[in-house]
Amino acid sequence: MPDRDLKTGLLTRLHERHSIVCVVGLGYVGLPLAVAVAEAGHKVIGIEIEETRVAAINDGRSPVADVPSEQLERLVADGRLAASTSYSAAARADVVVIAVPTPIDEYRVPDLSAVQQAAAAAARVMKPGSLIIL
Ligand SMILES: NC(=O)c1ccc[n+]([C@@H]2O[C@H](COP(=O)([O-])OP(=O)(O)OC[C@H]3O[C@@H](n4cnc5c(N)ncnc54)[C@H](O)[C@@H]3O)[C@@H](O)[C@H]2O)c1
């Protein structure tokens, strides 16, 4: 399919709220973002390496103070937000947003290994025409 048609298809699905958005890393940035995107009407799948965090989120228990558990519980119950440890979810995604840690060392140089790992894992399964955001 030509690039222009892929782009039009993506924009239409986003406008019509038929899109699936993956947020990789459900921490202080990723979880509030995932909730905001789900509240906007998109289906959200969070990809997170910490199994206990995935279990808590799918149980409606928020591990992040900015996100009330009641809100998370409602979105999970409505099927608007789910979490997984598997990158296979990125195969269905229209948009993948990476929000994994980038800790700095004593020289203030960021360690980008988690970003590289997440980008490579998502790129292995993402479909043509989908959008990836770092
Ligand atoms: N917290 C802030 O106020 C803030 C502000 C601006 C920018 N940022 C940036 O946002 C990014 C995320 O920061 P944060 O504060 O949300 O971090 P965080 O540590 O709160 O959350 C990151 C989450 O990503 C998960 N994770 C790590 N590696 C992963 C991988 N390969 N695949 C899937 N999940 C993985 C971790 O288990 C964790 O739950 C960083 O680059 C940070 O510099 C953070």
Tens-place pLDDT, residues 84-133: 999 999 999 999 999 999 999 999 999 999 999 999 999 999 999 999 99
pLDDT band, residue 2 (cuts 50/70/90): confident
Say whether pLDDT at 3 is over 90.
no
- Report the nearest atom of ligand 1 relative to the CA of 24: 33
Say whether pLDDT at 77 is over 90.
yes
Mean pLDDT of the chain: 96
Tens-place pLDDT, residues 26-75: 999 999 999 999 999 999 999 999 999 999 999 999 999 999 999 999 99
pLDDT of residue 13: 94
Residue of 29, 31, 98 best suited for mutating to test ligand 1, as the one with most atoms within 8 Å of CB: 29
- Report the nearest atom of ligand 1 relative to the CA of 50: 37
User: What separation in Å is there between the alpha carbon of 2 and the centre of ligand 1?
Assistant: 35
CATH 3.40.50.720 assigned to domain 2-133? The reply is yes
Say whether pLDDT at 1 is over 90.
no
Backbone dihedral angles phi then psi of residue 27, each to the nearest 5 degrees: -105, -145
Which residue has a Cα nearest atom 15 of ligand 1? 28
Domain ranges within the chain, ordered by starting residue? 2-133
